[in-house]
Amino acid sequence: MKTLVVDYQAGNLRSVETALRHIGASHEITDDPVRLARAERIIFPGVGDAAHAMRLLAERGIDRVMRERHAAGIPILGICLGCQIVLEATEEGGAACLGLVPGTARRFPSECGKVPHMGWNTVRSREDHWLFRGVPAESSFYFVHSYYPAPESEEDAIAWCDYGIEFAAAVERGSLVATQFHPEKSGEAGLQLLRTFVEAG
């Protein structure tokens, strides 16, 4: 089953693409809402400014398609900014987001340390969660972000990370999973996670 990678011009998709090619996953990068509306598996990456990203998604009508695909139960993997704008809102520019997962992206308070939180940090996943299958416990993943996902319900968090405060490093709601870290830049642990996602279901 082909994975469609959403390209809405928010950041460079090359690293996601090379990682998918490396693990032999059939994929296509597209910004076409018609193609996405028929997608059976979606990767939703993103870096940069949340409000800008939401505008781009709305302009192309991809916001509506993402909500519809999520409602249809299609597997979706959000990455980095794609883990924040699946929430209802973000403190970054006060933007309204897709609302696939109840919650808000919040800015790290400066007491946590340097912002952005950049580098490798240990991720503790929910025991036996399918997305982390084959990933050694307490593996490190690569993060670059100033805002973190704060799902309303602790039930929606599937992994945690400590940066002065403990925050959700990954969330899940229905058929959607999303990681605040970059699996495509997290070495073998990240490649394993991507493999699990594209082979799931």
Binding region for other proteins (CB under 8 A): 11-12, 14-15, 18-19, 21-22, 47-48, 110, 113-122, 136, 139-140, 142, 144, 162-163, 184-191
**Minimum gap (Å) between residue 6 Cβ and other proteins:** 18
Neighbouring-strand partners of residue 160: 124, 168
Nearer to other proteins by C-beta: 101 or 168? 168
Between CA 120 and CA 168 the distance in angstroms is 15
Catalytic residue among 17, 80, 117, 172: 80
Alpha-carbon separation of residue 131 from 32, 84, 127, 143 (angstroms): 27, 18, 11, 18
Nearer to other proteins by C-beta: 18 or 26? 18
Catalytic residue among 17, 92, 172, 184: 184
**Minimum gap (Å) between residue 153 Cβ and other proteins:** 26
Between CA 68 and CA 63 the distance in angstroms is 9
Q: Which two tokens stand for residue 41?
A: 């598996």
**Minimum gap (Å) between residue 163 Cβ and other proteins:** 6
Neighbouring-strand partners of residue 3: 27
Distance of alpha carbon 66 from the chain centroid: 13
**Catalytic: 184?**
yes
**Minimum gap (Å) between residue 48 Cβ and other proteins:** 5
Between CA 69 and CA 108 the distance in angstroms is 31
Nearer to other proteins by C-beta: 93 or 136? 136
Between CA 96 and CA 88 the distance in angstroms is 6
Nearer to other proteins by C-beta: 19 or 177? 19
**Catalytic: 70?**
no
Contacts of 35 (CB under 8 A, 6+ apart): 4, 28
**Catalytic: 188?**
no
Residues known to be catalytic: 80, 182, 184
